[in-house]
Amino acid sequence: MQSSSINSRLFGITALLICFVLIVLILILAKSFLIPLAWSLLIALASFRMLNKIENRYRINRMISSLVYVILILLIILMLFYFFYIEIVSIIKGIPDFSILLIESIQQTILLLEDYGIHLPLIDQNQIHIWISNHSETISNVLKSLGKSFGEIFLVGLYLFFILYYRDNYLYYLKLKTKGIETFSVKKKQVTEISDVISNFLFGLFSITFILTILLLVLFLAIGLKYALFFALLVSLLTLIPYIGNPIGMIIVVIFAIISSDDLTLPALALGSILVGNALKSYVFKPIIIGNKINLNAFVIFLSVILGGLIWGISGMILFMPFAGILKVMMQYNDRTKPLVALFVSIPKDIINSENDPESAK
């Protein structure tokens, strides 16, 4: 009897591992289809309640409201792409000037090291010019390849339109599937909660990104950093990538500041500006605007970022965190998976020591 129980558990674990591997394989192999679909689903979940209110208040046809909304989102994305394209092209055109400053900095460093008895060969200026020219050409090729991503953006818009237009179909499916009004109301509440969680989180996230952009723009203009708006927007958008976004933004800005200045004053001020902006974002704006909308602990967020990066790259690093929040909400409404919610959230010690059911851990 005991042997049968052990075999049953081993079979269950094996089946679970096989399912997990198959899901990961599907996510990897079908990522060109699933990534645009995931982005459109996330945007749609955040938009359901707002569009319902607009349609009911102004009595707008659903097709028109969905179409106008999708067009507005696509226009914002395309304008953002165009802005970055123009700014990067402008920076690339100034690379010859930057290369001269870079050569002078390297030569001064070599002469300084020689004073301490460290002898290095002088750098051939032509080699540096050739290296920079080759890499600027690479950057130009990368910019040209951005045109390929416009197809994916259009695909996101297409998926988004259909999800928004047929959003009542899922509720009707739940109504046909569930037995009884109470069961359907519970399922409807689950969908509403998921939509609210994603909507509040994304609204708060983009509000903070906008505030951080304005703050960094003011600081960068104050210290005299060139292309202040470009770098302020770039750093703010990179912070959307958890853990690695901030360091990447800092490195890019500091390197540009080093190349475009005669001393280390500007790089130090640029670094200080980013640190101040991130500190205000983390300790002032984020607690007020977002609070803890998704309520995931740091370990789950870290795992979602790592797994998302391995499976879907940058998109996965951004998407997997809110989808982990969706998974948590779905598990809360299932008696079998409800205890697993405790692994997703941060539970206070007083709840652990309490004999009561930790409902507040949701």
pLDDT by residue, tens only, the chain of 362 residues: 556 667 777 887 888 899 989 999 999 999 989 999 999 999 999 899 899 999 999 999 999 999 999 999 999 998 998 898 888 878 777 655 555 665 665 666 666 666 665 555 555 545 545 555 555 555 555 555 555 567 788 899 999 999 999 998 988 888 888 777 667 788 888 888 888 888 888 888 888 999 999 999 999 999 999 999 999 999 999 998 878 888 999 998 988 887 777 777 898 999 999 999 999 988 888 777 765 667 788 888 889 989 999 999 888 988 998 899 889 888 888 888 888 888 888 765 656 566 555 454 45
- Burial of residue 330 (number of CB atoms within 10 Å: 0-12, 13-18, 19+): middle
Question: How much of the chain is in helix, strand and coil states, percent to nearest 5?
Answer: 85, 0, 15
In the chain, count of helices (H) and strands (E)?
A: 14, 0
Upper half-sphere CA count for residue 3 (Cβ side, 13 Å): 0
253 and 322 inside one domain: no
Could you tell me which of 283, 285, 217, 288 has the C-alpha nearest to residue 253? 217
235 belongs to a structural domain: yes
188 in any annotated domain: no
Length of the chain (residues): 362
* φ/ψ (deg, to 5) at 196: -65, -40
The token pair at 112 is 């300084």
Q: Is the pTM of this model over 0.75?
A: yes
One domain, residues 287 and 299: no
Number of domains in the chain: 3
For residue 24, count other CB atoms closer than 10 A to its CB.
13
Domain for residue 174, yes or no? no
The whole-angstrom separation of Cα 168 and Cα 52 is 11
Any domain includes 359: no
For residue 185, tell me if it sits in a domain.
no
CB within 8 Å of 191: residues ≥ 6 apart? 170, 171, 174
pLDDT (0 to 100) of residue 308: 93
Classify residue 295 as left (phi > 0), alpha (psi -120 to 50) or beta: left
Residue 38: inside a domain: yes
Burial (0-12, 13-18, 19+ Cβ within 10 Å), 335: exposed
The pLDDT of residue 1 is 52
Instruction: Say which residues have a Cβ less than 8 Å from residue 35's Cβ, sequence separation at least 6.
Output: 152, 312, 315, 316, 319
Q: Check residue 118 and give its pLDDT.
A: 58
Do 316 and 310 contact (CB within 8 A), yes or no?
Answer: yes
Pair (249, 325) in one structural domain: no
Q: Are residue 128 and residue 253 in the same domain, yes or no?
A: no
Q: Which helix (H) or strand (E) element contains residue 22?
A: helix 2-29
Do residues 136 and 199 share a domain?
A: no
Q: Which of 334, 295, 319, 300 is nearest to 45 (CA)?
A: 319
**Which residues, other chains included, contact 306 with Cβ-Cβ below 8 Å and sequence gap of 6+?**
none
Q: Which of 269, 291, 313 is the last residue of a domain?
A: 291
Shared-domain flag, residues 157 and 217: no
| 180 within 8 A of 170, measured Cβ to Cβ | no
SS3 (DSSP) at 175: helix
* Pair (68, 112) in one structural domain: yes
State the pLDDT at residue 147.
56
Residue 138 sits in the same domain as residue 243: no
Which pLDDT does position 72 carry in this prediction? 96
The domain in which residue 338 lies consists of 294-350
Domain identity same for 42 and 88 = yes
Assigned domain for 145 exists: yes
* Boundary residue ending a domain (291, 322, 338): 291
The answer to whether 195 and 45 are in contact (CB under 8 A) is yes
Has residue 361 been placed in a domain? no
